[in-house]
């Protein structure tokens, strides 16, 4: 039947739409400028997407568990500033674990509020966005943070180094994506994350500790943020204290673009990676075809709405919403 | 009296109680810590506070409507910036050169129209695509901000029109122009939300959308109008503020959505919609401004303000939840 | 005198959804001043029919006549304008708004500048409330009213228009007996005014008390209309289910095992008080009572979802404290919850993952899920329970109610519990699955499970239980053995008329 095939096409589009869109994009930009697909360019795009990407991996867990995290941007500023400051005080070897511990404390606080106290995650993380921003400014005394001796440290390896010809940020991003992808798709914990996000009540009625699961998702998000802060600090060996500002939205954009529902229960690490790469390649492609840097924001806007719209349109079988 | 009524009453009065606490705290603490000689509760200081509340306050009124309606708008800061650019830039356009000072109302109208359209665009997308308002306005926040930057890159857009500045700095009955706008908007939105059919329908939609649909309330147009209103108010806020300052940075208005939502939530509006009051939001706006000013008065810097406001927002959410817990009998899910 | 004309007439209504013929030639009429029952199993097409009538669905074929004039409905608003009013099962009220605003939702009286005419609104509302003889006023916030009074607000809504036909959808589901009396008075008044009433309910005693005629649907097909006075429960049931459901009573046909669960003096605030009973292995104990009698809350306490305020729970003679479902599961208690979609299943997940959810931590191969073992479990219970699904990858949300319920049961059987609690095991599922589940519950007892069945359907309780605990208002009124129980004594006990006995 004709309607069946139409439905089938809609289903395929809904399931693989993001990959198709990605392919179309790459093709269009490559035709517009063949330089787009060269190894150098691809590496440079992925490397510059790595910080955003690492954060998006963590937020994917939070979103699938049915919550939001708008605090990752200011938390990343915090991690960056802290690790730079401690680098000169404790040395890089101690600075990194200390920074991770401090970031994880913040993440645990959020996880406690959202998981155990069941407070609305949008408002909690909005509040934490502001609070952590304030904390960072207080910590840094409002100053930019720089490593005193930029040449005499191995600390730059996370942001600037490369192994086997591949930049380290890409290796970290890829490794973390593979690891967290396995955790989410293959382990009991991952299964619980989907269950809690899909129907938290039913998960509780199945003996799953919902609060603990949500708490763990925020811890994972915190660890990813700390990793992103490490890459950021290492890349420039100095930083403004607002370096992560606004990133929470781009991170969320990437996760949504990857097809995770804000209602929870759906999404994958792989799709988030695609979402991140799309954002990165759009930015790069627009520059290569000679458009202004800021056009990417407008394009991102259009793409996000189109992506989510087509996704729900395929699910309801109608393009336009039935709202009167 | 039932337990529910007690907590309701507490919630309704809470924001004013909080304001009184702030006043007492900063007055007393100010005695010991303040760098300036003047008292915190000084009349001039309070009038200035009202004026400084205007930019956030005017937008917060619009956010109250949208949140009561069951939506949210994250793009207000970017709309604010776009309206500011339209206001300042349009006054320099050659086609308006012959207008003299009549360019002022034209520029105002242009800025307000643009804000209204951007808001309406969000509303239209939410209505017609069925995509959640959070995502639509999150996208718009990026997109509208992109437009701001495309206009003039990282550079500020400036234009000083002295007639306009005089107008904006004028005082009437002791209140600054901006204060009058804030009070006027508060009154108008209060009227809209408590007295008109549109306002009551907005509550009904936010409270029980399906019931509203079944009763024949047209949900889509209501959302469209409410988003247009918040767009208009974001632009009005920009118009009032930049008439005086005359220069807009492309980053201006960033994090406004945070401040605005904080004010609205502090004022008791339910995050899920259906409940909230304009007067409460006004209290929320004053409470935040008081906190900013008060912390400044006792020598704390902006970083402390951010920290404190974020934590207060969470504390309010926590208290609200504690007041609503039914006790040990509750199902543990 | 001329014959009365029907206020509402449905002629050969057909509605198909992809793959389902939801309504297949349904015709019936409602006369003025008549209370007309519409009956059918869940899924028989009642709600689809109501949606067609309310203009939410367009019929593929057939016509609707109001006062003998053919009409098309574009939505609830138009239906209302034509005098067809619905009192919904799920209350559709805005809790934060006043009674008056809810009654006139969508049509608040206007003054200039789009203002609400509060004076007129209050006058109109109070006039209607007076007719209904209720004790709240127009300005009361709806959220502060009891469920019964909220329903009165819904009914008041129906009175704002010149209603020709009023449709009540399960109106007594959450009402107390006293509240029901008020409702039936209102229905009698409407009837006296010549309004036609469609009354949808599963409760036979109500149907036979207040309706004049009964129309019956089965699998989307119209089975006929009978005069209430000329029929009885049995023949109506038979028309609804098409064949006789075997609900004969079965005595225990195997030996009872050890004591599995004992509850002593358990209380939980106002929800239930001083509950004591025992369940042995090999025994099915039925819990019967009205909605709100405290049965579900006891089950939730045993499953660690509520903390008791007093009393003891003993498993195999040992006192235990159960703080969470995880505790309960570890101690061999399983709960098939009342709300299948809300509490039992993650609808967006596939069949296998739903079934193995309580044991994800135990099905590991190294750090990963042992997917092979999971599939084996799924296959085992699919075969044992005859779950019809294309495969384990199927999303549970796409299955029928009966198959969904079997997934939930399979999920808990695979945990090999000692005590299996099932809350409303057959609510909203088709007759075939229903009798399969009844049979299964008996089999499980025979295999040595201790089974607690909570049900609001008397035939079901009588059919599956070895003993029946009758509850009323948070207390156990009496415990019956299957030999001594009669329908009358059971009804007396759950209405608060019997003596209080400990189990």
For residue A188, the distance in angstroms to the closest alpha carbon of chain C comes to: 5
The answer to whether the CB atoms of A201 and C343 lie below 8 A apart is: yes
Cβ-nearest to A142 among B125, B255, B303 = B303
* Chain A residues lying within 8 Å of B317, measured CB to CB: 119-120, 123-124, 127
pLDDT of residue B101: 79
Q: Do A297 and B304 touch (CB under 8 A)?
A: no
Q: What is the mean pLDDT of residues B67-91?
A: 94
- Closest residue to B207, CB basis, from C96, C115, C309: C96
Give chain C positions within 8 Å (CB) of A199. Answer: 342, 345-348
In 10 A of CB B94, how many CB atoms?
6
Nearest-CA residue of chain B relative to A293? B150
What is the predicted pLDDT for the residue at B174? 80
**Which pLDDT value is given to residue A79?**
96
How confident is the model at residue A11, as a pLDDT? Answer: 65
Mean pLDDT of all residues in C465-493: 86
Contacts of B201 in chain C (CB under 8 A): 106, 108
Interface contact A188-C360, CB threshold 8 A: yes
- Radius of gyration from C-alpha coordinates of chain A: 20
CATH of A15-316 given 1.10.150, 1.20.950, 1.10.287, 1.10.3470: 1.10.3470
**pLDDT, chain C, mean:** 86
Q: What does the angle CA C381 – CA C386 – CA C392 come to, to the nearest 5 degrees?
A: 60
Please give the residue of chain A at the shortest CA–CA distance from B259: A130
Look up residue A138 and give its two tokens: 């207080």
Average the pLDDT over B124-129 and give the result.
Answer: 95
Cβ–Cβ below 8 Å for B332 and C307: yes
Q: What is the mean pLDDT of residues B198-208?
A: 94
**Residues from chain A contacting residue C328 (CB–CB below 8 Å):** 207
Q: Is the pLDDT of residue C27 over 60?
A: yes
Closest partner residue to A187 among C305, C342, C368, by Cβ? Answer: C368
Chain A neighbors of B213, CB-CB under 8 A: 323-324
Is A323's CB within 8 Å of B265's CB? no
So what's the pLDDT on residue C19?
58
- Of the pLDDT bands very low, low, confident and very high (cuts 50, 70, 90), residue C388 is confident
How far, CA to CA in Å, does B151 sit from each of B49, B82, B108, B128?
33, 9, 19, 29
| Contact between B139 and A300 using a beta-carbon 8 Å cutoff | yes
- Residue in this structure with the two tokens 């999404």, named with its chain if needed: A267
Q: Output phi, psi for C471, to 5 deg.
A: -120, 145
Q: Which residues of A touch C348 (CB under 8 A)?
A: 198-199, 265-266
How confident is the model at residue B3, as a pLDDT? 40
Which stretches of chain C sit within 8 Å of chain B by CB?
Answer: 75-77, 80, 88, 92-97, 101, 105-108, 110, 113-116, 144, 268-271, 300, 304-307, 309, 324
**pLDDT band, residue C503 (cuts 50/70/90):** very low
CATH assignment at residue B181: 1.10.3470
Q: Do A186 and C369 touch (CB under 8 A)?
A: yes
Which of A35-44, B72-81, C468-477 comes out lowest in average pLDDT? A35-44
CB-based contact B165:B246 (threshold 8 Å): yes
How confident is the model over C145-195, as pLDDT tens digits?
887 788 888 888 888 888 889 998 888 766 777 778 888 888 898 889 889
Q: Which residues of A touch C (CB under 8 A)?
A: 3, 182, 186-188, 191-192, 194-195, 198-199, 201-209, 265-266, 324
- Summarised one tens digit per residue, pLDDT across range C194-211 is 899 999 887 777 888 899
Res B175: pLDDT: 85
Distance from CA of C47 to the nearest CA of B (A): 15
- Name the band, by pLDDT with cuts 50, 70 and 90, for residue C75: confident
Q: Are residues C97 and B203, on separate chains, in Cβ contact within 8 Å?
A: yes
Q: Do B213 and A324 touch (CB under 8 A)?
A: yes
Chain A residues inside the 8 Å CB shell of C303 = 205
3-state secondary structure of B237: helix
Structure tokens at B73: 């708008």
ipTM of the complex, rounded to two decimals: 0.85
> Distance (Å) from the C-alpha of residue A142 to the closest C-alpha of chain B?
8
CB contact under 8 A, A113 and B318: yes
Nearest Cα of chain A lies from the Cα of B17 at a distance, in angstroms, of 21
Residue B34: inside a domain: no
The residue ranking higher by pLDDT, B6 or A74, is A74
DSSP state of B102: G
Pick the range with the lowest mean pLDDT from A158-162, B227-231, B304-308, C200-204: C200-204
pLDDT, tens only, A155-212: 888 988 888 888 999 999 999 999 999 999 999 999 999 999 999 999 999 999 999 9
Nearest CA in chain A to C369: A187
**CB distance A249–B141 less than 8 Å?**
yes
B252 within some domain: yes
Name the residue among C501, C465, C499, C500 with its Cα closest to residue C482: C465
CATH number belonging to domain C258-332+417-503: 3.40.50.300
The two beta strands, C419-423 and C333-336, are parallel
Over residues C415-450, the pLDDT tens digits come to 999 999 999 888 777 667 788 889 899 989 989 999
Q: Is residue B11 part of a domain?
A: no
Which residues of chain A are modeled with pLDDT < 70?
A: 1-15
Give tens-digit pLDDT for C294-345: 899 999 999 999 999 999 999 998 999 999 999 999 999 999 998 888 999 9
CA distance A240 to A244: 9
Contact A202 C343 (CB under 8 A): yes
- pLDDT value of position A108: 97
Query: What is the longest distance spanned by two Cα atoms in chain C?
Result: 85
In total, how many domains does chain B have?
1
Out of B129, B147, B314, name the one closest to residue A127 (CB): B314
Q: Is residue B219, in this structure, part of any structural domain at all? A: yes
Of the candidates B128, B138, B213, which has its C-beta nearest A320's C-beta? B128
Q: In terms of pLDDT, which residue wins out, C494 or A100?
A: A100
User: Under an 8 A CB cutoff, do B309 and A313 touch?
Assistant: no
Q: How far apart are CA C132 and CA C159, in angstroms?
A: 10
Q: Which residues of B touch C (CB under 8 A)?
A: 2, 4-5, 195-198, 200-201, 203-204, 207-208, 210-217, 274-275, 327-333
Adjacent-strand bridge partners of C166? C85, C197
Q: What range defines the domain where residue B176 resides?
A: 47-318
**In this predicted structure, what is the pLDDT of residue B4?**
45
Chain B residues whose beta carbon lies within 8 Å of the beta carbon of residue C92: 208, 210-211, 214-215
Across chain B, which distance is largest between two alpha carbons, in Å? 74
Cβ–Cβ contacts within 10 Å for residue A63, how many?
Answer: 31
Q: Are strands C69-71 and C259-268 parallel, antiparallel or unpaired?
A: unpaired
Nearest to C93 among B208, B332, B333 (CB): B208
pLDDT digits (tens, 9 = 90+) for A309-318: 888 887 777 8
A-chain CB neighbours of B212 within 8 Å are none
Contact C345 A199 (CB under 8 A): yes
Q: Report if residue B10 sits inside a domain.
A: no
Judged against a pLDDT cut of 70, whether residue C249 lies above it is answered with no
pLDDT, residue C1, reads 42
Q: Which residues of A touch C353 (CB under 8 A)?
A: 191, 194-195
Topology agreement, domain C8-241 and domain C258-332+417-503: yes
Q: Is B27 inside any structural domain?
A: no
Beta partners for C17? C20
CB contact under 8 A, A301 and B333: no
Please report the pLDDT score of residue C275 as a whole number.
Answer: 94
Has residue C502 got a pLDDT over 50? no
Residue C367 sits at the chain A interface (C-beta within 8 Å): yes
Quickly state the pLDDT bin for C497 (edges 50, 70, 90): low
pLDDT, averaged across chain B? 87
Distance from CA of B322 to the nearest CA of A (A): 10
Task: State which CATH number among 3.40.50.300, 3.30.70.80, 3.40.50.720, 3.40.50.2000 fits the domain covering C8-241.
Answer: 3.40.50.300
E-assigned strands of C219-359?
221-227, 259-268, 272-280, 284-289, 310-315, 318-320, 333-336
Q: In angstroms, what separates the C-alpha of C192 from chain A's closest C-alpha?
A: 37
Between these two residues, A15 and C454, which has the higher pLDDT value? C454
How do the domains of chain C map onto residue ranges? 8-241, 258-332+417-503, 339-416
Residue range C393-414, pLDDT digits in tens: 889 988 877 889 999 999 999 9
Would you state the pLDDT for residue B327? 56
Cβ-Cβ contacts under 8 Å for A183 (sequence gap 6 or more): A189, A190
Question: CB-CB: which of A119, A130, A296 is closest to B321?
Answer: A119
With CB atoms and an 8 Å threshold, state whether B146 touches A122: no
* Pairwise CA distance, residues C377 & A151, whole Å: 60
Confirm whether B21 is domain-assigned.
Answer: no
- On whether residue B163 sits in a domain, the answer given is yes
- Can you tell me which residue has the tokens 């029946």? C468
C326 touching chain A per CB within 8 A: yes
Q: Using CA atoms, how far apart are residues B260 and B257, in angstroms rounded to an integer?
A: 5
How many Å apart are CA A154 and CA A151, to the nearest integer? 8
Pairing of the two strands C8-17 and A162-163? unpaired
State how far the Cα of C342 lies from the Cα of C90, in Å rounded to an integer.
15
């Amino acid at each position: 039947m004709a309607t069946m095939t139409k439905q089938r096409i809609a289903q395929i589009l809904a399931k693989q739409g993001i990959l198709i869109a990605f392919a179309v994009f790459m093709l269009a930009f490559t035709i517009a400028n063949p330089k787009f697909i060269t190894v150098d360019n691809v590496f440079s795009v992925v490397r510059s997407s790595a910080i955003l990407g690492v954060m998006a991996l963590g937020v994917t867990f939070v979103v699938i568990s049915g919550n939001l995290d708008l605090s990752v941007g200011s938390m990343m500023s915090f991690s960056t500033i802290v690790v730079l400051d401690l680098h000169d005080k404790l040395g890089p070897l101690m600075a990194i674990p200390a920074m991770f511990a401090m970031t994880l404390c913040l993440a645990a606080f959020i996880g406690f509020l959202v998981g155990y106290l069941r407070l609305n995650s949008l408002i909690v993380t909005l509040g934490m966005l502001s609070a952590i921003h304030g904390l960072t400014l207080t910590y840094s005394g409002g100053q930019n943070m720089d490593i005193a001796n930029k040449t005499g440290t191995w600390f730059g390896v996370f942001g600037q180094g490369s192994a086997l010809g591949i930049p380290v940020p890409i290796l970290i991003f890829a490794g973390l994506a593979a690891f967290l992808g396995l955790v989410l798709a293959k382990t009991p914990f991952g299964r619980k994350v989907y269950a809690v996000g899909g129907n938290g009540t039913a998960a509780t009625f199945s003996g799953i500790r919902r609060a603990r699961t949500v708490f763990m998702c925020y811890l994972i998000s915190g660890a990813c943020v700390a990793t992103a802060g490490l890459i950021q600090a290492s890349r420039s060996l100095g930083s403004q204290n607002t370096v992560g500002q606004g990133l929470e939205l781009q991170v969320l954009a990437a996760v949504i673009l990857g097809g995770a529902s804000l209602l929870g229960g759906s999404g994958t690490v792989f799709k988030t990676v695609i979402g991140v790469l799309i954002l990165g390649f759009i930015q790069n492609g627009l520059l290569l075809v000679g458009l202004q840097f800021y056009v990417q924001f407008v394009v991102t806007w259009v793409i996000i709405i189109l992506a989510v719209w087509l996704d729900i349109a395929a699910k309801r079988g109608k393009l336009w919403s039935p709202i009167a | 009296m039932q337990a529910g009524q007690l907590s309701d009453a507490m919630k309704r009065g809470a924001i004013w109680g909080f304001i009184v606490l702030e006043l007492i705290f900063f007055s007393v603490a100010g005695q010991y810590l303040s760098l300036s000689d003047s008292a915190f509760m000084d009349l001039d200081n309070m009038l200035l506070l009202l004026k400084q509340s205007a930019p956030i306050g005017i937008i917060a009124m619009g956010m109250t409507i949208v949140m009561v309606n069951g939506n949210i708008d994250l793009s207000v800061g970017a709309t604010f910036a776009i309206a500011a650019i339209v206001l300042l830039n349009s006054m320099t356009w050659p086609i308006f050169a012959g207008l003299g000072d009549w360019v002022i109302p034209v520029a105002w109208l242009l800025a307000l129209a643009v804000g209204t359209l951007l808001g309406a665009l969000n509303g239209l997308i939410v209505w017609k695509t069925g995509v959640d308002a959070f995502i639509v306005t999150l996208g718009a926040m990026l997109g509208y901000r992109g437009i701001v930057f495309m206009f003039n890159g990282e550079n500020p857009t400036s234009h000083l029109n002295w007639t306009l500045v005089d107008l904006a700095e004028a005082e009437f009955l002791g209140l600054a122009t901006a204060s009058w706008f804030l009070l006027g908007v508060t009154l108008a939105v209060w009227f809209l939300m408590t007295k008109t059919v549109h306002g009551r329908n907005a509550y009904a939609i936010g409270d029980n959308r399906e019931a509203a649909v079944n009763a024949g309330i047209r949900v889509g147009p209501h959302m469209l109008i409410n988003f247009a209103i918040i767009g208009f108010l974001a632009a009005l806020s920009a118009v009032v503020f930049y008439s005086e300052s005359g220069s807009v940075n492309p980053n201006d208005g960033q994090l406004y959505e945070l401040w605005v939502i904080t004010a609205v939530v502090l004022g008791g509006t339910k995050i899920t919609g259906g409940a909230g009051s304009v007067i409460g939001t006004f209290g929320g706006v004053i409470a935040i401004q008081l906190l900013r000013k008060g912390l400044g008065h006792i020598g704390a810097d902006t970083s402390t303000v951010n920290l404190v406001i974020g934590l207060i927002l969470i504390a309010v959410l926590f208290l609200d939840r504690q007041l609503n817990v039914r006790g040990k009998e509750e199902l543990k899910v | 005198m001329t014959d009365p004309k029907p206020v509402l007439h449905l002629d050969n209504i057909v509605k198909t959804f992809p793959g389902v013929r939801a309504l297949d030639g349904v015709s019936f009429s409602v006369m003025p001043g008549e209370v007309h029952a519409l009956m059918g199993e869940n899924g028989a097409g009642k709600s689809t029919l109501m949606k067609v009538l309310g203009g939410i669905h367009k019929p593929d074929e057939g016509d609707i006549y109001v006062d003998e004039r053919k009409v098309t409905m574009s939505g609830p608003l138009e239906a209302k304008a034509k005098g067809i009013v619905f009192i919904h099962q799920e209350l559709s009220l805005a809790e934060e708004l006043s009674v008056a605003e809810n009654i006139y939702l969508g049509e608040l009286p206007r003054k200039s500048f789009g203002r609400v005419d509060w004076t007129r609104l209050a006058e109109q509302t109070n006039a209607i409330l007076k007719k209904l003889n209720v004790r709240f006023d127009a300005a009361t916030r709806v959220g502060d009213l009891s469920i019964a009074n909220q329903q009165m607000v819904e009914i008041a809504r129906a009175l704002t228009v010149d209603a020709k036909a009023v449709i009540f959808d399960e109106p007594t589901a959450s009402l107390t007996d006293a509240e029901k009396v008020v409702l039936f008075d209102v229905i009698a008044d409407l009837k006296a005014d010549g309004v036609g009433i469609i009354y949808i309910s599963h409760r036979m005693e109500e149907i036979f008390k207040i309706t004049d005629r009964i129309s019956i649907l089965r699998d989307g097909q119209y089975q006929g209309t009978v005069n209430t006075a000329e029929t009885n429960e049995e023949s109506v049931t038979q028309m609804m289910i098409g064949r006789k459901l075997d609900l004969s009573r079965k005595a225990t046909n195997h030996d009872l095992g050890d004591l599995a669960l004992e509850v002593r003096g358990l209380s939980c605030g106002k929800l239930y008080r001083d509950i004591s009973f025992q369940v042995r292995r090999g025994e099915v104990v039925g819990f019967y009572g009205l909605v709100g009698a405290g049965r579900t809350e006891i089950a939730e306490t045993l499953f660690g979802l509520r903390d008791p305020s007093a009393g003891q729970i003993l498993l195999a003679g040992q006192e235990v404290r159960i703080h969470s479902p995880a505790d309960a599961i570890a101690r061999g208690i399983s709960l098939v919850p009342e709300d299948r979609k809300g509490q039992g299943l993650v609808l967006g997940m596939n069949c296998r993952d739903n079934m193995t959810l309580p044991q994800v931590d135990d099905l590991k191969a190294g750090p990963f899920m042992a997917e092979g073992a999971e599939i084996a479990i799924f296959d085992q219970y699919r075969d044992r329970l005859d779950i019809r699904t294309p495969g384990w990858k199927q999303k549970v949300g796409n299955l029928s109610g009966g198959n969904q319920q079997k997934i939930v049961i399979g999920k808990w059987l695979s945990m090999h519990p000692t005590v299996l609690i099932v809350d409303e095991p057959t609510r909203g599922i088709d007759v075939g699955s229903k009798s399969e589940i009844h049979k299964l519950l008996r089999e499980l007892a025979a295999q040595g499970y201790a089974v607690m069945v909570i049900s609001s359907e008397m035939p079901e309780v009588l059919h599956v239980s070895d003993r029946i605990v009758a509850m009323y208002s948070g207390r156990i009124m009496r415990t019956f053995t299957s030999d001594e129980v009669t329908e009358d004594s059971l009804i007396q006990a759950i209405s608060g008329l019997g003596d209080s006995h400990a189990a």
